[in-house]
Structure 1
Amino acid sequence: MEITSYSNNWSYPTQVRVGAGRIRELAKSCGQLGMKAPLLITDPGLAALPIVEKALQICREAGLEVGVFSAIKGNPTGTNVNDGIAALRAGNHDGVIAFGGGSAIDAAKAVALAGRQSCSLWEARNPANVDASLMLPVVAVPTTAGTGSEVGNASVITDEENHTKRIIFHPQMTPAIVILDPELTLGLPPKLTAATGMDALAHNLEAFLAPTFHPMAEGIALEGMRLVKEYLPRAVRNGADVDARLQMLVASSMGATAFQRGLGAIHAVSHSIGALYDSHHGLLNAIVMPYVMRANQSVIEPEMARAARYLGLPHGDFNGMLDWVLALRAELEIPHTLAEIGIDDSKAELIGEMSIKDVTARTNARQLTAAEYQQLFLNALTGTL
């Protein structure tokens, strides 16, 4: 696979506090960023759990006037973000705690970006429209190991009116402080552990294969894949395995760190399906992954052989990697086809058209046509490898 350009900009993430029990440093982290009245943004499921109440208690005991906003869908929408902005302004909050999975963190980052701006949320997609001095600080606390949004400078938000996922980006959007506390992930059910973990694998895999010059990201992606191989099955088998949970949090952050190199067709197709069917992003990535690998096979065989050797697979070639992905999905009880999760072929042509326009398609290992994306989707629907 040929590198498209040796001219690129590199940036690496933020201050990360790693280890069991580090949630105790939440209030201190907020204080270091000048927050006196943070808004904790999470999802409805987490909002009712003790881990959120514990986080709020930590903040209140430190004298912080913390508020809560939790009206976030699994695929966060522009309406969710705008409602969060309204809550931010109503409570006169001066910072954001992004607490939860990728959906809550993406929404929280968008609220912090656009909350004090004079432009609308969608206008804020253009960094030139954003006054960086008005952006609010963010402390990110992931409770799933998948998206790595806690170390990213973008959010994926669904535009309900146009039925598409839009990426909101700003170079200063990355949370200033991240807390990776595996104890917060112990209650994640096996199916969600598997789906989010496969999302982390998708990020690392596509970053490794992106045709852009970024050897540091390439190395991180390779090691991120190894962590997923070693620890995701453990975390799914035994949700109380703190070490496996910690390693998967790290693999997740590594994937998002690495994908500044680029993503690819796994995400282009998953974003399109998710916008139309409101399906879980990590699960979609997991299902379409081998079909994308097959579609890209002609240009990724050398890289796949290198990855297979690094991972210590029985066969050090493309087929070795494909077999491993298929075996891992089976072990984790990931469905083999999109049809198994209720997706149909009625929007196949539209998915092809949407996928080629998705920003992640730009760095796929090879450029696919809309017709090829449509066929890729149909292959994933029917199980045609």
Structure 2
Amino acid sequence: MSLTGNWSYPTAIKFGAGRIAELPEACAQTGMKRPLLVTDRGLRDLPITTATLDIMEAAGLGRAIFADVDPNPNEMNLAAGLEVYKAGGHDGVIAFGGGSGLDLGKMVAFMSGQTRPVWDYEDIGDWWTRADPAGIAPIIAVPTTAGTGSEVGRASVITNSVTHVKKIIFHPKVLPSVVIADPELTVGMPQAITAGTGLDAFAHCVEAFSSPHYHPMSQGIALEGMRLVKEYLPRAYAIGTDIEARAQMMSAAAMGATAFQKGLGAIHALSHPIGAVYGTHHGTTNAVCMPAVLRLNAPAIAQRFDMAAAYLGIEGGFAGFQTFVQAFNDSLGIPRSLSEMGVGRDRIDELTAMALEDPSCGGNPVTLTAENVKALFEEII
């Protein structure tokens, strides 16, 4: 079976090993002549980034790069990126990297022609209609991790550096026009990042599958996404050069982000404030939160996970699935508590208030309250 294809759901995806070579074609397709490659500091000097800049330069597209991006990108990173974008006379963005590089790259393109502050476009009601669609530059997304799925998303998560609150900025045109999903770019990921990003994809699928909203397409995608992570993340973790495992995980990441159009839930509602306040790795934080959230949601989701467990080859229905999740975390070196990641008990009330304001709350199958959210934080810290 050839792991290659050209997909248009949810956007045009050039999927397969070595397809980063098609970047100039993607730029031509979107009308970019002077692209700015946006990535994070950790990727700036890596061979995959240098090679991508070489491809751009050889095609006459220059080799402009902006990499002053924090692990949890904020509005100061965005302002700096916009300055570089405008000073360079750029006409589009190549968002390159994991969640942080992709999210900030998408926002540089989005804000390049807007006149209001970025917070005015938060994912609340119809705030996205405040944006001028003509002021959104074209975006090509190139993921280098297999986790967030931000390459197929219509939003970015930006942390407010003053309040330490993660805000979701949404616009339909933030969806990249072309995605180059080349699993060879993920081969050099360290084990801890392979695990954390892979479990982020898993959390997206689990929460989408748990969400009470109606979206059968997402439900099917979430189920198969869980299977791919279960089968292939251990292989990618054990042998980073296993290109089949890397390809299947890259598919699972895009599937998770496509599926969560159906909704996210308590895992993300908890993990967003923790990441914003303590700077923890998002996917790893999700993984630590998952067992406790599954226990909270059990009355509402046990029946559907009985079916999922059968498909996933897990015995014992929902209870078996819960046992599997903890064992899976353990096998991938995930901490059992947030205290192991430097999260203290002194700010639980503040984290609880932030979690209850997070838009992910709306997709949780059990209504979240100050009481049950605080109890979750007590348990996972």
Tell me if both proteins adopt one fold, taking TM over 0.5 as the criterion.
yes
CA distance in structure 1 between the aligned counterparts of 2:99 and 2:296, rounded to whole angstroms? 27
2:261 aligned residue: 260
Alpha-carbon offset, residue 91 of structure 1: 0.6
1:208 aligned residue: 209
CA distance in structure 2 between the aligned counterparts of 1:156 and 1:322, rounded to whole angstroms? 29
Q: 1:7-156 maps to which residues of 2 (within 5 A)? A: 12-125=9-122, 126-156=127-157
1:326-356, Cα deviation, whole Å (9 max, x unpaired) = 1100110111111111111011011111111
2:5 aligned residue: none
Query: Could you tell me the percent identity over the aligned residues?
Result: 50
Alpha-carbon offset, residue 374 of structure 1: 1.1
1:296-335, Cα deviation, whole Å (9 max, x unpaired) = 11111111111111101022x2211101101100110111
1:344 aligned residue: 344
Alpha-carbon offset, residue 172 of structure 1: 1.4
1:354 aligned residue: 354
TM-score (norm 2): 0.96
TM-score (norm 1): 0.95
CA distance in structure 2 between the aligned counterparts of 1:241 and 1:65, rounded to whole angstroms? 33
1:242 aligned residue: 243
1:5 aligned residue: none
CA distance in structure 1 between the aligned counterparts of 2:206 and 2:23, rounded to whole angstroms? 32
Q: What is the RMSD computed on CA atoms of the aligned residues?
A: 1.0
8 Å Cα contact 2:98-2:144 kept in structure 1: yes
1:16-40, Cα deviation, whole Å (9 max, x unpaired) = 0111000000111011100000000
1:375 aligned residue: 375
SS of aligned partner of 1:256 = helix
CA distance in structure 1 between the aligned counterparts of 2:64 and 2:113, rounded to whole angstroms? 17
- Residue identity in the other structure for 1:261: K
Q: 1:196-345 maps to which residues of 2 (within 5 A)? A: 196-315=197-316, 317-345=317-345
- Residue identity in the other structure for 1:47: R
Alpha-carbon offset, residue 359 of structure 1: 0.3
Report the count of equivalent residues: 370
SS of aligned partner of 2:42 = helix
- Residue identity in the other structure for 1:121: V
Runs of 4+ displaced beyond 3 Å:
none
1:218-255, Cα deviation, whole Å (9 max, x unpaired) = 00000000000000000000000000000000000000
Alpha-carbon offset, residue 12 of structure 1: 4.8
CA distance in structure 2 between the aligned counterparts of 1:156 and 1:370, rounded to whole angstroms? 24
SS of aligned partner of 1:340 = helix
CA distance in structure 1 between the aligned counterparts of 2:351 and 2:296, rounded to whole angstroms? 16
CA distance in structure 1 between the aligned counterparts of 2:188 and 2:195, rounded to whole angstroms? 13
SS of aligned partner of 1:205 = helix
2:192 aligned residue: 191
Alpha-carbon offset, residue 124 of structure 1: 3.0
1:167-200, Cα deviation, whole Å (9 max, x unpaired) = 0000111000001111100000111100000000
Any gaps of 5 or more consecutive residues in structure 1?
Answer: 1-10
